[in-house]
Amino acid sequence: MEVTFPGLGLEFNINREAFSIGSLSVYWYGIIIASGLVLACIYAFVRADYFKIDKNKLLNTVIVGIICAIIGARLYYVLFSWDDYKNNLMNIFYINKGGLAIYGGLIGAILGGGITCKLQKQELLPVLDIASIGFLIGQGIGRWGNFFNQEAFGSQTDLPWRMVSENTGNVGVHPCFLYESIWCLLGVLVLHILSKKWYHFKGQIFLCYMVWYGFERMIVEGLRTDSLYMTFSIFGYTPRVSQVLSACIFVTGIVLLIIFRKKRNVKNDDNN
């Protein structure tokens, strides 16, 4: 498939399939997602000592988190696309045909990882702190899988960086995958520096992740044409599921950062 960015003079010929072994096809989407996951895990294990996290327990948490993330991503998508599955429930299991939602993956990973932490008596907040930077690594790299699939793009635009392909109807659209990739990878740098120089309380990095990612997704989701929608309308506008969730995450993150910071200041004053 030919993909062009006419305003930038860029042109690419892409193929969803990276290679095949007999009848088994291996797609770039899976390779890219796996690469992001591996790099996220490497980062977490390299910095585990800094966050005072037991690496053996972290490995258990990661394994369970990954499994729960896949399940959560699928269930989230199916839940908000139920009309497409209710008459053929077996299609729910065909994840090779697409249909994974990032927020479902995050929810699944946090729930699965949280339960694992509880069972092995591991402190949760430091794990969430280090995992949040891993999330951004995985998301920043993983979004390029959308580029190879030519999906998750936005509405029509004439901006210089517009993307054109057969899947976009041969019209220029917002390359939403690129917006999110850049924002997430920038977030890796920001939260990494924050964790090294201004890490004041456990859970701080995770809350900053909520604010950072929630803000971006709230905006970019409004540009996409493949969103899952809520079942109600507000003044004639039907909000997108991820847009509403992103707004809630963004606001919650800010509120909790303020509360935790005030508690820390009060505790410091009492100690003085």
Whole-angstrom distance, CA of residue 42 vs CA of residue 64: 16
> Would you say 162 is a known binding-site residue?
no
CA nearest 3: which of 140, 144, 181? Answer: 144
Crossing angle of the two packed helices 204-220 and 241-271, in degrees rounded to 10: 150
Q: What is the dihedral of CA 260, 265, 270, 272, to 10 degrees?
A: 150
Burial 231-255 (b: 16+ CB within 10 A, else e): eeeeeeeebbbbbebbbebbeebbe
Largest CA distance in the chain: 70
**Token code pair at residue 40:** 């996220």
For the annotated binding site, the residues are 143
